[in-house]
A and B are shown apart, each in its own frame.
Chain A
Amino acid sequence: MLVIKDLYAKVEGKDILKGINLTVNAGEVHAIMGPNGSGKSTLANVLAGNTNFEVTHGSITFNGKDIFEMSPDVRAKEGLFLSFQYPVEIPGVSMVNFLKTAVNEHRKYRNEKELSAGDFLKLMREKKAMVQIDSQLTNRSVNEGFSGGEKKKNEIFQMAMLEPTLAILDETDSGLDIDALRIVSNGVNLLKNKNNATILVTHYQRLLDYIVPDFVHVLYEGRIVKSAGKELAFELEEKGYDWIKKELGE
């Protein structure tokens, strides 16, 4: 589904990613862990097509198509979803209007009929129950006045509405209390199936108690330095990232 080859990227002139290789297949959950500044969020943003991040080398294919040929909205409609680390507020734009536009843009892209207002609201009710998001939130403007936890929940709600084939969760667990973490994780697990894949970007092993990854990758100084099964996460939690540095001989 996703194939990243020898990816290099810069932010504000500074090299951040220095040769990433990663393959994600349908039905898999990948966790990308690593210390601050290792390039985790950069990777997420490059995949989504944020123009503040400049790709200098390498290739990414998504569903067999060159991702660099696609604008961010086309990538989204191809099924790539990014749950933002810091979701922005859009004052005056209601969640309903925002999501209705988003859902129908996806449908149009797939040559499907746009949803009627009634069908849309029905879908929204269904997905709201799935991620246990309060109706009060979805009646407000996009993320406006939401707490940190509410914003993250709202990201997962949008993911449920859009049903992506590849979901990238950028530190979705940060800022969540245990209850919210459980709800968010539960939502992600419910959405998981054999046709879609998930990339979890996180600092902590905690999230992986709830969403069990098939693969764990350690990102350090712009490269994936270690890949293994879920047990790697426990080892990291126990030994800290210094252990990786030592292993690398630093």
Chain B
Amino acid sequence: MEDQNKLIHEVTQRDYRFGFVSDIETDTIVKGLNEEVIRIISAKKDEPEFMLEFRLKAYRRWLTMKMPEWAQLKVPVIDYQEIIFYAAPTQQAKYESLNEVDPELLRTFEKLGIPLEEQKMLSGVAVDAVIDSVSVKTTFKETLAERGIIFCSFSEAVKHHPDLIQKYLGMAVPYNDNYFAALNSAVFSDGSFVYIPKGTRCPMELSTYFRINAKNTGQFERTLVIADDDSYVSYLEGCTAPMRDENQLHAAVVEIIALDRAEVKYSTVQNWYPGDKNGLGGIFNFVTKRGICKGVASKIFWNQVETGSAITWKYPSCVLMGDNSVAEFNSVALTNNYQQADTGTKMIHIGKNTKSTIVSKGISAGHSSNSYRGLVRVAPKAENARNYSQCDSLLLGDTCGAHTFPYIEVGNSSSIIEHEATTSKIGEDQIFYCNQRGISTEDAIGMIVNGYAREVINKLPMEFAVEAQKLLQISLEGSVG
């Protein structure tokens, strides 16, 4: 046991591999938050009046709100006056070819192992790369445009498709939804926008790589995905961030609207800087993600593998409004060292015959704390609703913690709710068995953890699944159970 703990300790002590700062010129505004700052952001982005109003409404509401304290997290006090709320790379011109792109930026992507060029050429993935707050490069737009698909930065969407923005912005996550959503609504700088027209199947996986880059810059992304009747889209979101000493606030909002019979798959691999092995630094990740199955028989799937951030507060949720709509939440959350995660989902059943599935796999190592918090609510009118929840926790070593907080509220008698939960430790006998076949303890743990998470990883698109597997292994290197 002692040996094992030692090994766990060693495996968990590997340094973050993606820690570096790229040297790109950045245009920032003065730090701090007030109405003037919000007006500047809106003006810099050349936004229409309704956007400014949305921001100001959110800001005023935010001032009256308090940071939520119900989560199983210890969050240091955040001084919002010390944060720079807008930073954009200064080279904002659109490029004809990659040759014109800041080579430093391209190198950043290379270091991350996500060369834009190769992604474009080989995998057929359209990449809308967001570094800091403004979209620098958007690819594949023309191919998509031929089918009437809109995939662009949020700012562009505000300029070119204000009607869609005005109609859907805040529909899934209202400006006053919660403290961090209100903050995001007030100051969000950019993000991605997707619209899939009626009857259209998006021919490729849509993908965005986020990266927090400028020093002391909070990142406030806003993503809006609209799938019109009978459409389908798979959206991939993946993140890594450079190493920092000071904590960085990240409060993103993702909204998904699925109309009649539409299907949206939203997959995330999150690997933001988790802080060092002593719990110093790292990203604070307070995200509000919500989808509305607005149309009949619509489907929304959240798939995520989370290994990063010092603090994670995140509950990708679904409101099943349309009759016969379907929602899934499949998640692997791994915490190590002093990371804290309070994550889960909410499934709100409103329509009849609605069905939701929750599969949550928590993996805790080091001194980390990993909590699942989930709500399944069935409205009185949601007859024959069904939910199946499975929440598993895997512990490595004896200094970490795992918690499960399931909330179930059922308003009628025709619905069926099932909940299963398990907690296990990686068995010494499993590791020894692998050792005896010539597999080192480190590799054995990677293998066992990946096996444990396989159910969820299999839900990810192929290229993401491979990345996710590597990520789980890397995140546990130095930490054996």
Q: Which of A155-178 contact B (CB under 8 A)?
A: 158, 162
Nearest-neighbor residue (CB-CB) of A141 within chain B:
B451
Whether B451 lies near A106 (C-beta < 8 A) is: no
Q: Which residues of B contact A98 (CB under 8 A)?
A: 434, 437, 439, 447
A residues near B (Cβ < 8 Å) are: 48-52, 71-73, 76-77, 81-82, 84, 87-88, 90-93, 97-99, 101-102, 105-106, 109, 141, 158, 162
Nearest-neighbor residue (CB-CB) of A80 within chain B:
B436
Q: Roughly how many angstroms separate A88 CA and B450 CA in the complex, as a whole number?
A: 17
Question: B406-446 vs A: 1/0 string, CB under 8 Å?
Answer: 00000000000000000000011110111111111101000
CB proximity of B347 to chain A, nearest CB, Å: 25
Q: Which residues of A contact B438 (CB under 8 A)?
A: 73, 76-77, 102, 105-106, 109, 162
Most chain-A CB neighbours within 10 Å: which of B427, B429, B448?
B429
Whether A87 lies near B435 (C-beta < 8 A) is: no
CB proximity of A54 to chain B, nearest CB, Å: 11
Known: A90-B451, A92-B450, A92-B451. A102 touches B428 (CB 8 A): no
Whether B427 lies near A88 (C-beta < 8 A) is: yes
Q: Which residues of B contact A76 (CB under 8 A)?
A: 435-438
Whether B451 lies near A93 (C-beta < 8 A) is: yes
Q: Roughly how many angstroms separate A157 CA and B231 CA in the complex, as a whole number?
A: 49
Q: Which segment, of B88-96, B213-221, B452-460, faces chain A?
A: B452-460
Q: Which residues of A contact B450 (CB under 8 A)?
A: 92-93
Whether A91 lies near B437 (C-beta < 8 A) is: no
B49 part of interface (Cβ distance < 8 Å): no
CB proximity of A69 to chain B, nearest CB, Å: 15
Whether A88 lies near B435 (C-beta < 8 A) is: no
Whether A52 lies near B433 (C-beta < 8 A) is: no
B69 part of interface (Cβ distance < 8 Å): no
Whether A50 lies near B452 (C-beta < 8 A) is: no
B146 part of interface (Cβ distance < 8 Å): no
CB proximity of B52 to chain A, nearest CB, Å: 51
Known: A50-B432, A88-B433, A93-B448. A102 touches B455 (CB 8 A): no
Q: Give 7 A-B contacts (CB < 8 Å), ordered by A residue.
A: A48-B432, A49-B436, A73-B441, A92-B450, A92-B453, A105-B440, A109-B438
B163 part of interface (Cβ distance < 8 Å): no
Nearest-neighbor residue (CB-CB) of B3 within chain A:
A51
Whether B452 lies near A92 (C-beta < 8 A) is: yes
Q: Roughly how many angstroms separate A52 CA and B432 CA in the complex, as a whole number?
A: 10
Q: Roughly how many angstroms separate A98 CA and B446 CA in the complex, as a whole number?
A: 12
Nearest-neighbor residue (CB-CB) of B448 within chain A:
A90
Most chain-A CB neighbours within 10 Å: which of B432, B434, B436, B441?
B436
Query: Considering the complex of A and B, which 9 residue pairs feature the smallest CB-CB distances, nearest first?
Result: A92-B451, A93-B451, A72-B435, A92-B454, A102-B437, A76-B438, A105-B438, A73-B435, A77-B438
Nearest-neighbor residue (CB-CB) of A109 within chain B:
B438
Nearest-neighbor residue (CB-CB) of B435 within chain A:
A72
Q: Roughly how many angstroms separate A81 CA and B433 CA in the complex, as a whole number?
A: 11
Whether B436 lies near A72 (C-beta < 8 A) is: yes
CB contact between A88 and one of B3, B4, B430 (< 8 Å): that residue: B430
Nearest-neighbor residue (CB-CB) of A86 within chain B:
B429
Known: A48-B436, A51-B3. A101 touches B451 (CB 8 A): no
Whether B447 lies near A101 (C-beta < 8 A) is: yes
Q: Roughly how many angstroms separate A49 CA and B443 CA in the complex, as a whole number?
A: 18
CB proximity of B156 to chain A, nearest CB, Å: 42
Q: Which residues of B contact A84 (CB under 8 A)?
A: 433, 436
Q: Roughly how many angstroms separate A93 CA and B452 CA in the complex, as a whole number?
A: 8
Whether B443 lies near A87 (C-beta < 8 A) is: no
Q: Roughly how many angstroms separate A86 CA and B369 CA in the complex, as a whole number?
A: 33
CB contact between A52 and one of B428, B430, B440, B443 (< 8 Å): that residue: B428
Q: Which residues of B contact A99 (CB under 8 A)?
A: 437
Q: Roughly how many angstroms separate A163 CA and B204 CA in the complex, as a whole number?
A: 46
Known: A88-B427, A101-B443. A81 touches B451 (CB 8 A): no
Q: Which residues of A contact B428 (CB under 8 A)?
A: 51-52
Nearest-neighbor residue (CB-CB) of B451 within chain A:
A92
Most chain-B CB neighbours within 10 Å: which of A77, A93, A106?
A93
Q: Roughly how many angstroms separate A90 CA and B4 CA in the complex, as a whole number?
A: 18
Q: Roughly how many angstroms separate A98 CA and B430 CA in the complex, as a whole number?
A: 12
Q: Roughly how many angstroms separate A77 CA and B438 CA in the complex, as a whole number?
A: 5
CB proximity of A217 to chain B, nearest CB, Å: 23
Q: Which residues of A contact B441 (CB under 8 A)?
A: 71, 73
Whether B455 lies near A92 (C-beta < 8 A) is: yes
Whether A82 lies near B436 (C-beta < 8 A) is: yes
Q: Which residues of B contact A52 (CB under 8 A)?
A: 428
Q: Which residues of B contact A101 (CB under 8 A)?
A: 439, 443, 447
Known: A52-B428, A88-B430, A92-B453. A97 touches B447 (CB 8 A): yes
CB proximity of B171 to chain A, nearest CB, Å: 38
Q: Which residues of A contact B447 (CB under 8 A)?
A: 90, 93, 97-98, 101
Task: Supply 9 further A-B pairs (C-beta < 8 A) apart from A84-B433, A91-B451, A93-B450.
Answer: A88-B427, A90-B434, A90-B447, A91-B452, A93-B447, A101-B447, A102-B434, A162-B437, A162-B438
Nearest-neighbor residue (CB-CB) of A101 within chain B:
B439
Known: A51-B3, A90-B430, A97-B447. A81 touches B436 (CB 8 A): yes
Q: Roughly how many angstroms separate A88 CA and B443 CA in the complex, as a whole number?
A: 17
Nearest-neighbor residue (CB-CB) of B426 within chain A:
A90
Q: Roughly how many angstroms separate A93 CA and B453 CA in the complex, as a whole number?
A: 10
Q: Roughly how many angstroms separate A51 CA and B3 CA in the complex, as a whole number?
A: 8
Q: Which residues of B contact A51 (CB under 8 A)?
A: 3-4, 428, 432
Q: Which residues of B contact A73 (CB under 8 A)?
A: 434-436, 438-441
CB contact between A87 and one of B433, B451, B453 (< 8 Å): that residue: B433
Nearest-neighbor residue (CB-CB) of A52 within chain B:
B428
Q: Which residues of A contact B453 (CB under 8 A)?
A: 92
CB proximity of A88 to chain B, nearest CB, Å: 5
Q: Which residues of B contact A88 (CB under 8 A)?
A: 427, 429-430, 433
Whether B435 lies near A158 (C-beta < 8 A) is: no
